């Protein structure tokens, strides 16, 4: 039993040694490129409807509010609502966000991308408006998670000049 524990501990320390010697840095770490870039990122203010506002709030919860940043995250949100059955009791809310990160210093496009997702909700009962709003909140949270993950990957790579 002691040999197994000793072997596991040795393997654990060996993995740590290998990971640290290859230049591995965690994406979520405080010294990572992504966290430094998020500290320099401004999310564009919401324009238009509540979905844009919810997306901006969700993004600021993930990357922080940085009014003095030098990179701007611009976004466009598109929503489509479709019925899932013939009685019209279930609906699917499909959302797509197109985004781009632009340098505020020289208006240069750093990178861009697109994410989409969907949520479903039931329209039975008298709480249709509340259920629709809840579905929009959930969808904007999902889209913000996806955009944040994609931004982490993009910021972790070296920028091509």
pLDDT in tens, 53-84: 999 999 999 888 888 889 999 999 999 988 87
d(C-alpha 7, C-alpha 13), whole Å: 10
What CATH number should be reported for the domain holding residue 40?
3.30.160.150
Q: Residue 12: what pLDDT?
A: 76
Q: Output the pLDDT for position 16.
A: 74
Asked if the structure places residue 18 within a domain, the reply is: no
- What is the residue-averaged pLDDT of the chain? 83
pLDDT at 159: 60
Q: Does the predicted model carry a pTM greater than 0.95?
A: no
**What are the structure tokens assigned to 70, written together?**
């030098």
User: Which residue carries 């040694």 as its tokens?
Assistant: 17
Query: Which pLDDT does position 11 carry in this prediction?
Result: 75
Tens of pLDDT, residues 89-145 = 888 999 999 999 999 999 999 989 999 999 988 877 677 778 888 999 999 999 999
Whether residue 23 lies inside any domain: the answer is: no
Question: What is the reported pLDDT for 156?
Answer: 79
**How large is the average pLDDT for residues 18-37?**
63
Contact 37, 66 (CB under 8 A): no
Cα–Cα distance for residue pair 39/65, rounded to 1 Å: 8
In a domain, 58, yes or no: yes
Say if residue 28's pLDDT is above 80.
no
Calpha distance 55→10 (Å, rounded): 46
- Would you state the structure tokens that stand for residue 96, as one six-digit string? 């797509």
pLDDT in tens, 38-56: 788 999 999 889 999 999 9
In a domain, 7, yes or no: no
Collect all residues with Cβ–Cβ distance below 8 Å to 18 and sequence separation of at least 6: none
Say if strands 41-43 and 71-83 run parallel, antiparallel, or are unpaired: parallel
Both tokens of 58, joined, read: 């969700």
Q: How many domains, the chain?
A: 1
Q: Note down the domain range covering 43.
A: 28-156
């Amino acid at each position: 039993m002691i040999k197994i524990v000793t072997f596991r501990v040795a393997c654990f320390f060996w993995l740590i040694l290998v990971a640290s010697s290859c230049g591995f840095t965690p994406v979520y770490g405080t010294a990572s490129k992504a966290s430094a870039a998020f500290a320099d990122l401004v999310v564009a203010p919401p324009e238009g409807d509540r979905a844009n506002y919810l997306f901006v709030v969700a993004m600021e919860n993930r990357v922080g509010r940085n009014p003095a940043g030098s990179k701007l995250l611009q976004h466009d949100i598109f929503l489509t609502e479709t019925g899932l059955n013939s009685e019209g009791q279930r609906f699917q809310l499909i959302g797509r966000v197109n985004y781009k990160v632009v340098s505020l210093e020289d208006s240069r496009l750093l990178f861009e991308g697109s994410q989409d997702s969907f949520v479903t909700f039931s329209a039975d009962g008298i709480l249709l408006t509340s259920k629709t709003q809840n579905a929009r909140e959930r969808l904007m949270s999902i889209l913000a998670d996806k955009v944040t993950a994609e931004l982490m990957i993009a910021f972790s790579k070296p920028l091509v000049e």
